[in-house]
Amino acid sequence: MIKMKRFLFVICCGVAILGCSSKQRFPIDKRFWTPEDYQTVIFEIQYQTPKDELYPKFSDPENAVVIQKLVDAQNYLVVADDKELGLNYKNEVTKEFFHKYRDLYDTYKGMDVQDKYIYPEELIAVEKFGLGLQIYYFKLGNDRIAEQADAADSTETKRVLTSNRQTIIGNFNLYLDNVKDEKRFGSYAPSLAEGITTHFFKLIETFPDANYGEMLAKAKGMSAKTQVPEIKIALEGLVSKLEGMKKPV
């Protein structure tokens, strides 16, 4: 049934979008985009972009606003930081944002025949959006588990909380794997450094009791491997931070 609805949507709208501006195709005038907006926009990009046109890019004056809105952290922060909203609600919303982030990543990760990313600048921005989002998503999730547990200090509760912390650390380690493929990002590779200096330090601040041993080892390895000065400096800073933590990693 879902596939049928999508097919009908494509048939009905396929002709109408020709010549339409971004303002007509996307909810540009909305101050914040919801997970539902992301679903609509990502579908529009994936299935309604003509074959001879590129997806929204920062360098495209006509469509730059679309990718800018997609990677705007305020879309989830307006919910996650609202002290008037309930923990369960915020956890569910950030969960939906996380799913849409993964769809967005899949949308922009394509490579050309030279094994270079078609949208390197946009992909980095999408990944940094995801890093920031995950910190809130996993923190809210753990807070919810601790709040609803019969005993917050029980062995089982601690096991689940620890498992979740290590999961997000594993996800962040995947970002460090980009260093192995930094050439695929071309001239935009230095922008990877900002994701490390900003979000990795926020991760450590949010989950100070987690085990960062694997991250430390990977950061050291990538620091020795990178050919980009900005990335090397960022990784050296991360290594220094992890080695300086009071709790052994």
At 164-220, the pLDDT tens digits run 999 999 999 999 999 999 999 999 999 999 999 999 999 999 999 999 999 999 999
Measure the CA–CA gap between 203 and 39, rounded to whole angstroms.
27
Average model confidence (pLDDT) across the chain: 91
Q: What is the largest CA-CA distance in the chain?
A: 62
Q: Would you give the end-to-end CA distance of the chain in angstroms?
A: 50
Which pTM does this prediction carry? 0.89
- Asked whether the beta carbons of 56 and 63 are under 8 A apart, the reply is yes
The full set of domain ranges for the chain reads 2-11+21-50+61-191
